[in-house]
Amino acid sequence: MQTIFVTGGAGFIGSNFVTWLLARPNLKIVIIDKLTYAGHMLNLQDVLGLPSVSFIQADIADRSTLDRLFTEHSPDVVLNFAAESHVDRSIDNPAPFIETNTVGTFVLLEAARHFWMTLTTEKKARFRFLHVSTDEVYGTLGAEGLFSEETPYAPNSPYAASKAAADHFVRAYFHTYGFPTITTNCSNNYGPYQFPEKLIPLMILNALEGKALPIYGDGRHVRDWLFVEDHCEGLWMVACQGKPGEKYNLGGNNELSNLELVNLLIDVLEEFEPAHENQPLHRQGIAAYKDLKVFVDDRPGHDRRYAIDASKVKAELGWAPKFTLLTGLRKTVQWYLSHRNWCEAVLAENYGRERLGLKN
């Protein structure tokens, strides 16, 4: 029986990972989450109450609580999902990103390292600390090329800078202390339980309600899209088989401009919720979802293109994404259509889908 710490486990990727992990036998899962605006108990409603799952509300920057949790639960693996993750919010207020992403990761590393030092030689050898990061730490690409594990860091937003700093701490703890850390850097995730400030759920909900579909700048910023279930599988493979001290890029091999993605999403919405049956559109005299598209002022410092080279993790661990973008988007749209109550609950008093990230 292995014990797995999942920090940030009530957030988007973390909660999906916990659900995915339940199909694996002989695991005890301890979820640790501060429950900020994007972390919700609703994300865990299908897993809490199971004998193999426990939840503790705690901040990863709270050292005394972490020390107690490590002593009480004695984890074999720590997966750090805890993060502030929305670039626009980091432009408006960088402080929470530094506090959680950078300082929180440092405190978690310290607590985990001191616990690890108390273990037997055999348990030390099995212990892993997996830090979940982003491709945004690499900065921006031109029209050609891919981010590899050797790409120099060049973060261009406060969010990316806070994650880059955390990545460097994780790397340093391996090289300085021999602490068995691994880092993954992933491309843009999408899927169920993503807070509706992010592009795909925002577009889905706005379209269904007949609201504008805001596209930043010229809409030609390119991102690589990875379905969250594929990401979860890759993370577990890295946690189980990855080499301490290494980093692995996880990408979906699905490059699209934001405008292309919105157009594809509109096509998928039309399959499940045709525009001619959408009453909010009818009331405004709008015939098609595409007529809701509007170009707005670009995000300050908006990176032009991200693209991941995931050949290392494929060659060494055998991981590759299984979902095509169209298959993943269909699953995602169907989930949001059938979980409107979840959308209303997580948005209540937190976020009205207004534009963020324009402050100087």
Please identify which of the residues 159, 216, 248, 306 carries the catalytic annotation.
Answer: 159
Which of the following is catalytic: 33, 59, 84, 136?
A: 136
Active site residue 136: yes
pLDDT surpassing 70 at residue 360: no
- pLDDT per position as a tens digit, 154-176: 999 999 999 999 999 999 999 99
The reply to whether 173 belongs to the active site is no
Res 17 pLDDT > 70: yes
pLDDT at 315 exceeding the cut of 70? yes
Q: What angle do CA 134, 140, 145 make, to 5 degrees?
A: 100
Distance CA 12, CA 86 (A): 12
For residue 238, the 8-state DSSP code is: H
> Which pLDDT value is given to residue 112?
98
CA distance 263 to 277: 19
Rounded to an integer, the average pLDDT of 335-347 is 95
| From 135, 197, 230, 255, active-site residue | 135
Active site residue 209: no
- Model pLDDT, residue 359: 66
- 187-219 pLDDT per residue, tens: 999 999 999 999 999 999 999 999 999 999 999
Reference 262, options 207, 343, 305; nearest CA is 207
Q: Which tens digit of pLDDT belongs to each residue from 43-72? A: 999 999 999 999 999 999 999 999 999 999
Q: Please check the confidence at residue 352 and state whether its pLDDT lies above 80.
A: no
Neighbours of 102 (CB within 10 A): 21
pLDDT digits (tens, 9 = 90+) for 223-256: 999 999 999 999 999 999 999 999 999 999 999 9
Q: What is the mean pLDDT of the chain?
A: 96
- What's the pLDDT at 358? 78
Half-sphere exposure of 95 toward its Cβ, with a 13 Å CA cutoff?
Answer: 1
* Mean pLDDT along residues 291-314: 96
Residue 351 pLDDT: 77
The pTM of this model reads: 0.96
Residue 102 has pLDDT above 90, yes or no: yes
In percent, the amount of the chain with pLDDT more than 90 equals 95
Greatest C-alpha distance within the chain: 70
